[in-house]
Amino acid sequence: MTPPVKAWLRDDCRRLSIDIEKIQYQDLKSKLENDFTVKYSDVDGDLCTIGGSEELEDLVNSDL
């Protein structure tokens, strides 16, 4: 199953279907077209920013 990814820039929301286990950070940023900030909600409900390949890899390998 490919989980949806939501990207927000002010009031603009983009919903993407990506294979989270195969995508690279630069591929994700290029799909967003603008200067979007990539974040995810952790188990505590906190928004965490993904600022590079290492953080994206950590998310992919997590239990979220």
pLDDT digits (tens, 9 = 90+) for 5-51: 777 777 888 777 777 677 777 777 777 766 667 777 888 888 888 88
Q: List 49's β-bridge partners, or say none.
A: 39
What's the pTM? 0.52
Helices 25-32, 53-60: crossing angle, 10 deg rounding? 100
Would you state the pLDDT for residue 64? 59
Q: How many CB atoms lie within 10 A of CB 48?
A: 15
Q: List 40's β-bridge partners, or say none.
A: 48
